Amino acid sequence: MKRKVLFLSVFLLAAAGMVLPALPCHASDGEILIGHPACLSGSYAKAGEQAVGGIQAILDWVNNTRGGIAVEGRKASLVYKYYDCESKKESVTSLLERLITSDKVHFTFAPYSSGLTLAGAPIAEKYGMIYMDHGGASDKIFQQGFEYVVQTIGPGSLYHAGTLEMVKAIDPSAKKVALAYADDEFARSVMKGAEERAAELGFEIVFNRTYPAKVTDLTPLLSDLKASNPDVIIGGGHFEDGQLLNRQLADLGIQPKLLSLIAAATLPAFGEALGDLAEGVMGPSHWEYGVTFSEKGAKKLGKMWIGPNQEEFVALFKKAVGKDMIPDYHAAEAGAAVLALVLAVEKADSLDPDDVREALGDLEFMSFYGGWNIDETGKQVGHSMVDVQWQKGQRVIVWPVAAQTGKPLYPKPDFK
Amino acid sequence: MRGSGKYLPIVPVLAAYALLLLYGLAAPGKWQLVAQLAFYCALGQAFNLFMGMTGYVDFGYVAFLGVGTYGMAVTISSLSDGGLGLGIILIGFLAAAVFSTILAMAVGAVALRLRGAYFAIATIGVNEGFRYLIEGARIWNGADGIIFSRHLKTALGRKMAMTVSTFWADIFVFGVAVLAAVLTLYYLRNKVGYALLALREDEDAAKVMGIDVTRYKIIAFITSAALAGLLGASGWALKLTYVYPPDVFEIHYTVEAIIIVLLGGAGTLMGPIAGGLIYGVSKYFLAITLPGFQLLIFAPIIIAIIVIFPEGLVGILKGKVHGTSLEKFVI
Amino acid sequence: MFFEQLSGNLVQGLILGSVYGMATMGLSLIFGVLQVVNVGHGAFIMVGAFTALILFQSLGVPPILAIPVALLIGMCLGMIFYYGAVKPLVSPSGAGIRKVGRRQLGKAAGVFVAVMIAMRILSGVLDLNIAFSIFIAIILMYAFLVYVYGGRRQEKGPELATLLVTFSLGVILEEVVKQIFTSEARGYNWDLGKLDLGFTVLPFTKILASGGSLTVAVLLYLWFNKTRAGMAMRSVVEDSVGARVCGVNVDWQYALSFSLGIGLTVTSGVLLTMFIPVGINPYMGGGYTLKAFVIAVLGGLASPYGAFFGGVVFGLLENGSYTLLAALPGGEPFALTRFFSFVMLLVILLIRPTGLLRRKG
């Protein structure tokens, strides 16, 4: 009997130890809470891990380097509270509501991807809570009449504008463009933008086909593409299929003058996975290690500057994730969203969501991430993208000229 | 069990849903959690209606939720300017039920001739095939999906649209759960149930005895599918106001339905509620306490429960109340 | 042009199909012997892919030599998982756990707490994650229950239970691999040159992958037909009661075939990466699971060689139909090839539920 009681009490203690962290944490007076139903497992785990790291890195900077946020006559520090939504739509709503009602956060962040961002939007709107969209690139989110959704990532339709301009500037004889991309909303909106841009610039689209997301073999599609003999291949969708596309182009001996892949090619893992085959492959990126945005540059343009410089951000990011990992644009855009909130709160001198939303609407600033400015629907319009290229195992920014860290390698060297 | 006591088991079921609903209404800021739990319960309840009674595992079950979601989405996005007001939701539910019923009849005609693993794999084929048909033939906007938050606002007005998404959609989910439970009990206590019980024990023997097995199978199959359609229309379409094909035709949800039903006890009436609550609550707390690690913890727990208690929670309960006055409340 | 593309695709499809076929043999073997559908199939392929990747990247072992390692890893995993989780549900000699009441659960809870405390103390030294500690504690608690109270029980667990158990085993593998290697998509670059056929190009690694698959299939065939152990296993597939009467240890055959099935699946992961050496990540298996189901049915579900044959047919169909569907106006041919292959699946199930190769007897 005694043993039973002992066991039971120890077990209860252990159970309590597990449940205690689940109790709601309320903000003390000097704290501003940011809540985030992040994607730490499931299909968006990769981007979600980056986003959480990026937010933590900027939090560290705001609290420790900047000394907090001046609001309503006091200095407040930022606190970050995140849960894992498993990249599942039905978990987003309940976790988001918990953050808003139990944890009483002041601002919320959306999970990654357009779909999950949309899943949480009705809840955020219901509670009149600012909802920072850092990973939902769809233009359609901002045609739905949401009032509290604020985008930091640039809209999908602009991804390849720079790439095509670069080809036109360097090699006017290259005319034939092939598009091969994942059949999902994001890649489709990117490629629709690319198609329109290509038409404006006088390119000819010789191939335009999709493949199902999560594909494992692209050979039939690429044999078809090979027959159209394109100068430029634009494509991709996510991480795995981008690697696959590049690899199988090489396997089939298709040699375009330029290959640009969305999402996949901008990540360090891409070069590691493909080795020499990545040489010369490009990708449009919202932000890249090596971009040259600086406080001085911002001053020249007459824009407000906030935040760490790039090196500081990378160091803070590594500290936050506890690994020697270079942040990619998912981290940068999530971090930049925090900076936007910081400025808006100070400008509004209030934590009231409506005041802050108004301040965000008027806000325009620069940071390590680049420009930030939203239109009246909350859509990001102030951020421009860069094009990166793999050169000798490094990612080099090759376009636009103003942001270059190296000359473009054109035509790209043939696959061996 | 004849006469007045026939439908007594519905009492604890209704009580459980009422309590859950009351908790959601009374506890501030817990509504979405309650809604998520109700969704799991309804999913299990609707799935169990067919699976529990027949023993057939419809792995492609999520396809019915998917077409139901599309039924609502297509209705709202195309009729939003019609000035139908709240009637649009009614039409949406109708469309959802019709879509899923049609699909169920098509699938039933083909797949219900198969048994065991062959049936399970054929239904996976239906789900995946249907998804790729939508994407490949660009039906209903193909992979671009339908985002209709704006249309819902046009049809109902901003305020009402928001209340529908964040409150009424969840009430409808409760409705589907209760409807599924009532229908399950009704079938169990009538010819359908007796015939299917005979089928589950030995399909060939049932056929020899002259029971029109196929007919009852199809009745249960279509009922279960139509409920799934309604669930998709409320829990996914109205609530989230968008639909992408890979998000709704996702086999993972069928697996969730199986987990829920098995945790509670397959073929029981209370099982899906018990399973849904256990599954939903543990998932929620693990997501909060150990974000990023919850599946690592959850998967061995599921194995442990299934290996140690294969008859499920309600199965154990049934054993406990056997021979007591409570017996007639639990099935 | 059209025929050049079609023949190119068919050759590619043949090569890929043989790898797909090999990747399905394990699934069919397990179903044939235990009547268990391994829903976690893809996760085991993923383990094989990581085996090839890690051996190549850190030790420079060419992937073709990773095959025996993968087989070994797979068979060990298979044994552990069989005795740990599958046996209590399917064992022919009485399954399940005798009785678990309040007392047993109390003791198990004691084990859990003791392990947790031990892990917490250890974590001071080894910097262990709390989630990892809980994971280990749950596993040990479970092992305690199964081993101390495991034994005979009359009824088998419901068939459904095995689906969930294999699914959960897959999830555990995915999550463990994710914790160790993160969810980054990886790849390796093993270059042996290419064979240019004019209408298509085949890297030698792909040919090697296909040859490897064929070799494994032939070896399996020989083992089944020429060795005593293989014939004993085959006898269980054909008639498990008869086999028992003839003195075959059916329990052991169950364990062996589950373990061999998983071994084959992990091996196929290695061969698949030789065909497609990129995009290796913890969640890569999902697509292969669904494909394997279709292929297994094409081949008759319970027959490993049928599965190999089904894989070849599937590869030819999927790649070949693209060229035909692309000739149609409108639509997205690649997605339609998928639709096409699932329609084929239904048709075959209806007209010939035992698969394309009719089994004897």
Which band of pLDDT confidence, cut at 50, 70 and 90, is reported for residue A247?
A: very high
Phi, psi of A177 (to 5 degrees): -115, 135
Neighbours of chain B (3+ CB pairs under 8 A): A, C
Question: Which CA distances in Å does B60 have to B64, B232, C229?
Answer: 8, 14, 38
Give the integer Cα–Cα distance in Å for B227 and B232: 9
Average pLDDT of the segment spanning A141-158? 89
Residue C202 near residue C15 (C-beta atoms within 8 A) = yes
Q: Are residues C234 and C347 in the same domain?
A: yes
Indicate yes or no: CB of B118 within 8 angstroms of CB of C350.
Answer: no
pLDDT of A2 > 60? The answer is: no
CA distance A38 to chain C (A): 15
At C144 the pLDDT is: 87
Q: Are residues C81 and C221 in the same domain?
A: yes
CA angle B322, B324, B327 (to 5 degrees): 60
Give the integer Cα–Cα distance in Å for B255 and C169: 13
With H, G, I as helix, E, B as strand and everything else as coil, classify residue A300.
helix
Give me B330's structure tokens: 């639990």
At C211 the pLDDT is: 95
Do you know the residue count of chain A? 416
Q: Are residues C10 and C129 in the same domain?
A: no
Give the integer Cα–Cα distance in Å for A366 and A109: 20
pLDDT of A294 > 70? The answer is: yes
CA distance C143 to chain B (A): 9
Q: Are residues A80 and A211 in the same domain?
A: no
Average pLDDT of the segment spanning B5-12? 86
pLDDT in tens, B66-121: 999 999 999 999 998 888 888 999 999 999 999 999 999 999 888 888 888 888 88
Q: Are residues C53 and C192 in the same domain?
A: yes
Give me B277's structure tokens: 């609550």
Give the integer Cα–Cα distance in Å for B113 and B108: 8
Indicate yes or no: CB of B153 within 8 angstroms of CB of A184.
Answer: no
Instruction: Select the residue of B132, B244, B285 nearest A115 (Cβ to Cβ).
Output: B244
CA angle B253, B256, B260 (to 5 degrees): 145
Indicate the number of domains in chain A: 2
Within-domain flag for A399: yes
Within-domain flag for A15: no
Q: Are residues A196 and A50 in the same domain?
A: no
pLDDT of A233 > 70? The answer is: yes
Give the integer Cα–Cα distance in Å for B276 and B263: 8
| pLDDT above 70 as % of chain A | 93
Q: Are residues A393 and A280 in the same domain?
A: yes
Q: Are residues A142 and A82 in the same domain?
A: yes
For residue B224, which amino acid is it? Answer: S
For residue A55, which amino acid is it? Answer: I
Average pLDDT of the segment spanning B50-56? 87
Give the integer Cα–Cα distance in Å for B244 and C244: 52
Query: Residues of C numbered 217-276 whose beta carbons fall under 8 angstroms of chain A's beta carbons: which are they?
Result: 275-276
Nearby residues of B91 by Cβ (< 8 Å), 6 or more positions away: B75, B79, B84
Peptide bond into A400 cis (omega under 30): yes
pLDDT in tens, A323-373: 888 888 899 999 999 999 999 999 999 999 999 999 999 999 999 998 899
Instruction: Please give the mean pLDDT across all residues of chain B.
Output: 90
Indicate yes or no: CB of A7 within 8 angstroms of CB of C110.
Answer: yes
At B206 the pLDDT is: 84
Q: Are residues C82 and C103 in the same domain?
A: no
Q: Are residues C196 and C331 in the same domain?
A: yes
Question: Which CA distances in Å does B216 have to B188, B191, B206, C153?
Answer: 12, 9, 12, 33
We report the CATH number of the domain holding residue C47 as 1.10.3470
Nearby residues of C232 by Cβ (< 8 Å), 6 or more positions away: C243, C248, C253
At A159 the pLDDT is: 87
Question: B215: exposed, middle or buried (C-beta count within 10 Å: 0-12, 13-18, 19+)?
Answer: exposed
With H, G, I as helix, E, B as strand and everything else as coil, classify residue A154.
coil
Question: Chain A residues with CB inside 8 Å of C171's CB?
Answer: none
Query: Residues of B numbered 17-36 whose beta carbons fall under 8 angstroms of chain A's beta carbons: which are they?
Result: 28-33, 35-36
Indicate yes or no: CB of A224 within 8 angstroms of CB of C277.
Answer: no
Average pLDDT of the segment spanning C263-285? 94
At B110 the pLDDT is: 82
Indicate the number of domains in chain B: 1
At C360 the pLDDT is: 43
Q: Are residues A275 and A398 in the same domain?
A: yes
pLDDT in tens, B11-21: 999 999 999 99
At A21 the pLDDT is: 47
Which band of pLDDT confidence, cut at 50, 70 and 90, is reported for residue A15?
A: low
Question: Which CA distances in Å does B224 have to A37, A65, B189?
Answer: 32, 59, 17
Which band of pLDDT confidence, cut at 50, 70 and 90, is reported for residue C89?
A: confident
pLDDT in tens, C160-185: 888 889 999 999 999 999 989 888 88
Listed range (A78-87, B212-221, B243-252, C145-154) with the worst mean pLDDT: C145-154
Per the structure, the complete domain to which residue A270 belongs is given by: 158-285+386-403
At B1 the pLDDT is: 45
Do you know the residue count of chain B? 331
Question: A265: exposed, middle or buried (C-beta count within 10 Å: 0-12, 13-18, 19+)?
Answer: buried
CA distance C53 to chain A (A): 10
pLDDT in tens, A75-91: 999 999 999 998 999 89
Q: Are residues A74 and A223 in the same domain?
A: no
Other beta carbons within 10 angstroms of residue C24's beta carbon come to 32
Q: Are residues C144 and C9 in the same domain?
A: no
Average pLDDT of the segment spanning C273-282? 92
Do you know the residue count of chain C? 361
Average pLDDT of the segment spanning C4-19? 92
Within-domain flag for C345: yes
Indicate the number of domains in chain C: 2
Give the integer Cα–Cα distance in Å for B159 and B177: 27
Residue C50 near residue C280 (C-beta atoms within 8 A) = yes
Output the DSSP codes for C327-352: TSSSS-HHHHHHHHHHHHHHHHHHH-
Other beta carbons within 10 angstroms of residue A405's beta carbon come to 17
Average pLDDT of the segment spanning A196-214? 92
Other beta carbons within 10 angstroms of residue B72's beta carbon come to 32
Other beta carbons within 10 angstroms of residue C266's beta carbon come to 31
Phi, psi of A102 (to 5 degrees): -85, -45
Indicate yes or no: CB of B114 within 8 angstroms of CB of C353.
Answer: yes
Q: Are residues A101 and A180 in the same domain?
A: no
Average pLDDT of the segment spanning B286-312? 87
pLDDT of A292 > 80? The answer is: no
Count of CB pairs separated by less than 8 Å, B with C: 171
Other beta carbons within 10 angstroms of residue C230's beta carbon come to 16
Question: Chain C residues with CB inside 8 Å of A227's CB?
Answer: 1, 5
Average pLDDT of the segment spanning C193-216? 91
Strand duo A232-236 + A176-182: pairing: parallel
Give the integer Cα–Cα distance in Å for C112 and C124: 19
Which band of pLDDT confidence, cut at 50, 70 and 90, is reported for residue A45?
A: confident
Per the structure, the complete domain to which residue B150 belongs is given by: 3-329
Average pLDDT of the segment spanning B257-283? 91
Question: B140: exposed, middle or buried (C-beta count within 10 Å: 0-12, 13-18, 19+)?
Answer: middle
C347, closest residue in chain B (CA to CA): B110
Average pLDDT of the segment spanning A100-120? 93
Q: Are residues C312 and C187 in the same domain?
A: yes
pLDDT in tens, C224-238: 889 988 888 888 877
Average pLDDT of the segment spanning A397-408? 86
Listed range (A10-14, A268-272, B59-63, C271-275) with the worst mean pLDDT: A10-14
Q: Are residues C238 and C195 in the same domain?
A: yes
- Per mean pLDDT, which of A212-221, A338-347, B260-269, C131-140 is the most reliable? A338-347
Which band of pLDDT confidence, cut at 50, 70 and 90, is reported for residue A23?
A: low
Per the structure, the complete domain to which residue C119 belongs is given by: 97-150
Indicate yes or no: CB of B294 within 8 angstroms of CB of A86.
Answer: yes
At A221 the pLDDT is: 93
Beta strands in C152-310 (DSSP E): 194-196, 201-203
Q: Are residues C179 and C68 in the same domain?
A: yes
C193: left (phi over 0), alpha (psi -120 to 50) or beta: left
We report the CATH number of the domain holding residue B179 as 1.10.3470
Output the DSSP codes for B318-329: HHHHTTSGGGGG
Q: Are residues A268 and A320 in the same domain?
A: no
Q: Are residues A369 and A317 in the same domain?
A: yes
C160 against B150, higher pLDDT: B150
Give the integer Cα–Cα distance in Å for A63 and A320: 14
Best residue in B119, B261, B303 to probe C by mutation, most C CBs within 10 Å? B303
Within-domain flag for C28: yes
Give the integer Cα–Cα distance in Å for C228 and A277: 48
Question: Chain B residues with CB inside 8 Å of C163's CB?
Answer: 57, 120, 258
Listed range (B187-196, B254-263, C77-86) with the worst mean pLDDT: B187-196
Query: Residues of B numbered 14-73 whose beta carbons fall under 8 angstroms of chain C's beta carbons: which are they?
Result: 51, 55, 57
pLDDT of A402 > 60? The answer is: yes
Q: Are residues A271 and A397 in the same domain?
A: yes
Phi, psi of B90 (to 5 degrees): -60, -45
At A26 the pLDDT is: 59
At C95 the pLDDT is: 63
Average pLDDT of the segment spanning C130-136? 87
At C358 the pLDDT is: 57
Q: Are residues A32 and A146 in the same domain?
A: yes
Query: Residues of A numbered 325-344 whose beta carbons fall under 8 angstroms of chain C's beta carbons: which are they?
Result: none
Question: Chain B residues with CB inside 8 Å of C176's CB?
Answer: 296
Q: Are residues A194 and A233 in the same domain?
A: yes
- Per mean pLDDT, which of A152-156, B122-126, C48-52, C234-238 is the most reliable? C48-52
Start-end of H helices in C130-227: 130-149, 159-181, 204-226
B282 touches chain A (CB under 8 A): no
At B82 the pLDDT is: 81
Q: Are residues C117 and C249 in the same domain?
A: no
Average pLDDT of the segment spanning C73-96? 86
For C314, how many CA atoms within 13 A lie in the half-sphere containing its CB? 35
* Owner of token pair 């047993």: C104
Listed range (A96-100, A286-290, C58-62) with the worst mean pLDDT: A286-290
Output the DSSP codes for A225-260: HHHH--SEEEEE-SHHHHHHHHHHHHHTT---SEEE
Within-domain flag for C308: yes
Which band of pLDDT confidence, cut at 50, 70 and 90, is reported for residue A138?
A: confident
With H, G, I as helix, E, B as strand and everything else as coil, classify residue B263.
helix
Give the integer Cα–Cα distance in Å for B62 and A97: 26
